[in-house]
Structure 1
Amino acid sequence: MNFLKKLNGSGSISNQYLCLDLIRRTLMPLFDPDSGLLIVSGNGESVIDCFEVNSSEPFLSQVSHCLTDLSTRGVALVPKLALDVSCCEVLRLLQLTDNFIVPISYQVPRKAGQDFHADLYPDTVGHTPAMTAEDWWKGENKQVERVSLHPSKRPKPATPSAQETKPKDLPRGKSKEEASSSSSPLSTPSSSADPSRSPSSTSGLSSGFLPSPSQSSRAIHSMLGPSSKFRHIQGAVLHRDTHITNLRGLHLTTPGECDGFCANGQRVAVPLAIAGGQIAVFECVCLKAGDDAKIRVWQIPKGGLTETLTEPECVLRGHTEKIYSIKFHPHASSLLASSSYDLTVRLWNLETGEEVKRLSGHQDQIFGMAWSPDGKLLATVCKDGKVRLYDPRKSTLPIQEGPGPEGHRGARVVWVCDGKYLLVSGFDSRSERQLYLFSAESLASGSVASVPADVSPSTLIPFYDPDTSVLILTGKGDTRVYTYEIVPEAPYFMECSSFHSSEPHKGLCFLPKTECDVRDVEVARAVRLGKTTIEPVAFRVPRVKKEFFQDDVFPETAVWWEASLTAAAWLSGSNGQHRKISLRPKDMTPVSEAPKEAPVKKYLPSSVYLEEKTDEQKKEELLSAMVAKLGNREDPLPQASYEGVDEDEWDD
């Protein structure tokens, strides 16, 4: 049970107590000596109480009882010079939650925009120190100079030098709505906190004194950094008519090095619970990397399989131990890279069935590898805690290496931001899942940014869409799919909405961009492997004008599923480039060319106007409105013209 001790008139502690609640948590008190307000909150609670400390009975009187949406992890007061005196804000509290910092504003209900209310704002402690630390050690005692909160008398902040970078203050002299609109391109709803109040006996604070969170949690998140236009991306499983159901004999316990399954626009390949190991599919070529250190290649005929293929077209031999992963070259046809437990990466020409390169330098198991977007470099992430970069045509040893994830449970690597950065999903030293971003030009300097994910034993498998810079990750056995927008400068990671499935999935494989329904603003489509089903999942961006083609999220896309040169040409030094196509349907107009709508004039509610007028002005307006209803007072009445009456009748 939490108590607050009351003070007596002399300032000493009396034997009176104030009971707050029955929760055994430590209270965090904050006191403002200017207004005499005491803020009390408990760690882990969703209640914030405000009291006024008085010098006479009652020594402590409750002003408000605020219920917040999220549990409190910490509280702090904003300096008085940052308050908005135009709306009679006397206190502003910052609430720290698990994911957000939420400001809560305490305001006195007075008419905004009037003269400065000096009774609410006595001179407060300034920001200039009264003396140095050496002066205090010598025995001097000086008080910090007090400054006025009047807008015209406030001290001007010091201008920072070109080399200094200071955080910007919150805007002053603006209403909460104006501050929200100036900090975020989109309007945001107000917080749903439900504060309740109790009467106050002070002259400066009336019983209508209420705390109101100035922004919602989502709005504060956007205030603290740039927001992504994909932050509201929505994932949804498509209709059951598109599902493949009643699958039998699936191999659902694949090892960590396997991504689960693979698919393209026409075919899906899944591992079966029979002898033979993992299976991967790339367009019309099927490969199987076996435990016997051999890669078997089948050529699927045009039109699909009509019979069971028992003999591979060719067998690639060279590795001495179990093969870990295989990756096709993004531009060169029939060029394959494979990694093995023999700590080597080998390049194969499928047209000749020969090994053409052998890359070395790894000291432990190779977790993952990825080709650069231009196809020149190959990146690997290894269990020895290193990220390496190879230029296979120039050297068999890494041209760069740097520190990678500390954990040894698994990792994946993918190129992002047009090949400027490497994104690695792995584990930290506490076996918690982490995302790391490395500069491709300087691996030795370590990661430039990292974000934690959660605690789970499975490795996050990344998919990156270069058209939107959206990164989508999930792990085998997970029910959550993470989404981020990756930007080439701070904050680098901009978290978007997550997709949650009803049951754990065994894999998530993304299809070519041509499979997306652009009319429904679908930016990515995947197929999700369950226990007995394969379900398509669409990732859409909510937009209003869906009748227009959203060309800001659908630039021309690269046809990455088609080769641009042969393996022999690449090995001889040539570099290819994918052709690009437009996803815009012929009958849709780009939203950038949509006709501009006339701005709609917004009228404030009548209560705003009525509050700013005196009673006499209200009576005059009401009388004028009644007269206008009856007619114009300057128009003569019919009987004033004496029409229809003889002159003699008026003489009587």
Structure 2
Amino acid sequence: MSFRAIRQSKFRHVYGQPLKKEQCYDNIRITKSAVDSTFCAVNPKYLAIITEAAGGGAFLVLSLEKTGRIDRDAPLVVGHKAAILDIQWCPHDDDIIASGSEDCTVKVWRIPEAGMFRNIDEPLVDLVGHQRRVGLVVWHPSALNILLSGGSDNHVILWNVGEGEAIMSIEFPDIPLSASWNYDGSRFAVSSKDRKVRIVDPRTGEVLKEGATHDGSKSTQVVYLKNGQLFTTGFSKMGERQYGIWNEDLSNVMIHDIDTSNGVIFPFYDPDTSIIYLCGKGDSAIRYIEISNEPPYAHFLNMYQSSDPQRGIGWMPKRGLNVNACEIARFYKLHSKGLCEVIPMTVPRKSELFQDDLYPNTAGDIPALTAEEWISGKNAPPVLVSSFFVVSLGNLGRKQLPR
């Protein structure tokens, strides 16, 4: 008789406990778009959700403390001329958010310090360069004002947001579906509609490596791991959902079948704890696995299960979590009926003291490089700060872009 040994991990008993409805956000006109996007972005100050809008694109921005029923006439960010497809908060300034749209533009917005009291229709920066819709925006992890965008014109464009200009435009054989910078931002990986993943030098535009990962025709998502490997989610030829780990030369380390559902799985990676959370579009579950350097490399930890499928989902950066409650992740789950449910993920501990083994130093909001330093060839990992002091002192809200 054989048995499979259970791997010991302090994160094995992580559990999700949704907050009460009055502590969540309700009555939101969530977009009905069918694109593969999370439709939601969150940081330690704000929650942003892409909404339905007549005659253009819009997204809602709420201060985190403004929970409960949201007014139907709540102010929106409304400057796009067509539907918004992707949004992402700047990692170095919690008041700055970028959006990509079907109107072929990328816009960068500043949310007023006091919050939203009227519609915002004038962007801080308007980035025009794509010829078709823009479905992907990703900020650089450590360099200030560097933004990546991907469009249906098969191009990825790198922008210097501070100058409002393109640094590099890179053409791909097919539409880029997801992108991820490596830990120090010296290269990025892109998954495309042609089922291939490519690793790119962002300063020259050279494709350093390309290869097939998942065999299925549906969307593949890619995340760069801290150790330089790649983590992907996708589909097999038979339509089974999978996740896999790949070396930087795109040789396969491992691949694992999950189930036969058809929703795209979005991976959310925490480099501090080496945990990846898998959130499938239309799923009612969030799976979490721990990445290690030894076989089998990906260790299933647990699964949060609920009765309602997720229309979209947002993930709070580590510096926005409640360390006093041993919270190691927090999700903002969009329901099709207009509810944004808040789901903290915690590790049960009896002590009320700060658990430093759960909270290694994490990426703060201080950029390691200026845009000019990065463009000139310098690389640097994110500036790390103590999780305890970040949460205790609060975010100072660095203002990087001009008002």
Does residue 415 of structure 1 match 2:221? no
Is the CA contact (8 Å cut-off) linking 1:528 and 1:535 kept in structure 2? Answer: yes
Counterpart CA distance in 2 for 1:327 and 1:484 is: 24
Q: Which residue of 2 aligns with 1:238?
A: 19
| Equivalent in the alignment of 1:498 | 303
Question: 2: distance between equivalents of 1:516 and 1:299?
Answer: 23
**1:251 aligned onto 2:31:** yes
Task: Give the counterpart of 2:40 among 261, 275, 279.
Answer: 261
Alignment match, 1:404:
213
Distance 1:400 1:315, change over 3 A: same
Q: Which amino acid aligns with 2:121?
A: T
1:476 to 260, 265, 281: 281
Contact in 1 for aligned 2:88/2:138 (Cα 8 Å): no
1:385 & 1:505 partners in 2: Cα distance?
Answer: 25
Q: What is the aligned partner in structure 2 of residue 25 from structure 1? A: none
Residue 523 (structure 1) shift: 1.2
Inter-partner Cα distance in structure 2 for 1:419 and 1:391? 18
Structure having greater relative contact order (Cα 8 Å, sep ≥ 6): 2
User: In the alignment, residue 229 of structure 2 is paired with which amino acid?
Assistant: Y
Deviations 1:174-213 (A, max 9, x none): xxxxxxxxxxxxxxxxxxxxxxxxxxxxxxxxxxxxxxxx
Q: 1:297/1:470 Cα in 2 relative to 1: closer, same or farther (>3 Å)?
A: same
Aligned to 1:325: 136
Q: Which runs of 5+ in 1 are unaligned?
A: 1-93, 95-102, 104-219, 589-652
**Number of residues paired by the alignment?**
358
2:360 corresponds, among 552, 555, 570, to 555
Larger radius of gyration: 1
Q: Is the 8 A contact 2:160 2:166 kept in 1?
A: yes
Q: Which amino acid aligns with 1:316?
A: L
Any unmatched runs of 5+ in structure 2?
A: 58-82, 393-403
User: What's the counterpart of residue 578 of structure 1?
Assistant: 382
CA change 1:373–1:585 in 2 (3 A) is closer
Partners of 1:518 and 1:509 in 2: CA distance: 19
Q: Do the aligned partners of residues 471 and 230 (structure 1) sit closer, same or farther apart at CA in structure 2, a change above 3 Å counting?
A: same
Deviations 1:381-410 (A, max 9, x none): 1222221111112x2120112221111210
1:322-380 Cα deviation digits (max 9, x unpaired)? 212111111112211111122121101111211111123x3222121100111111101
Partner residue in 1 for 2:234:
426
Residue 280 of structure 1 is aligned with which of 87, 94, 97? 87
For residues 47 and 369 of structure 2, what CA distance do their matches in structure 1 show?
26
Aligned to 2:70: none
CA drift at 1:585: 7.5
Task: Tell me, in whole angstroms, the C-alpha distance in 2 between the residues paired with 1:562 and 1:475.
Answer: 32
2:298 matches 1:298: no
Aligned to 1:512, which of 313, 317, 337?
317
* Preserved contact between residue 260 and residue 476 of structure 1 (Cα < 8 Å): no
Q: SS where residue 296 of structure 2 aligns?
A: coil
- Counterpart residue number, 2:342: 536
Deviation string, structure 1 residues 565-607 (Cα, Å, up to 9, x no partner)? 2212210122234332223479x9xxxxxxxxxxxxxxxxxxx
Q: Which amino acid aligns with 1:535?
A: E
Between Structure 1 and Structure 2, which shows a larger proportion of strand residues?
2
The one-letter amino acid paired with 1:419 is: N
Matches within 5 A, 1:86-235: 94=1, 103=2, 220-222=3-5, 226-235=7-16
Q: Which residue of 2 aligns with 1:339?
A: 150
Looking at structure 2, the residues matched to 539 and 516 of structure 1 have their Cα atoms a distance apart, in angstroms, of 10
Distance 1:288 1:585 in 2: 31
More helix by share: 1
Cα deviation for residue 415 of structure 1 reads: 1.6
SS at match of 1:482: strand
Partner of residue 327 from structure 2, selected from 522, 525, 531:
522
Give the aligned partner of residue 46 of structure 1: none
Q: Is the 8 A contact 1:381 1:404 kept in 2?
A: no
Q: Is the 8 A contact 1:254 1:260 kept in 2?
A: no
The range that moved more, 281-290 or 321-330, is 281-290
Amino acid at match of 1:565: L
The separation in 2 between residues aligned to 1:520 and 1:310, in whole angstroms, is 39
Q: Which residue of 2 aligns with 1:316?
A: 127
Looking at structure 1, the residues matched to 275 and 120 of structure 2 have their Cα atoms a distance apart, in angstroms, of 38
Identical aligned pairs, as a percentage?
A: 32
Q: 1:526 Cα deviation (Å)?
A: 1.9
Query: Residue 266 of structure 2 is aligned with which of 439, 457, 461?
Result: 461
Contact residue 294 and residue 317 of structure 1 kept, 8 A: yes
* Root-mean-square deviation (Å): 2.1
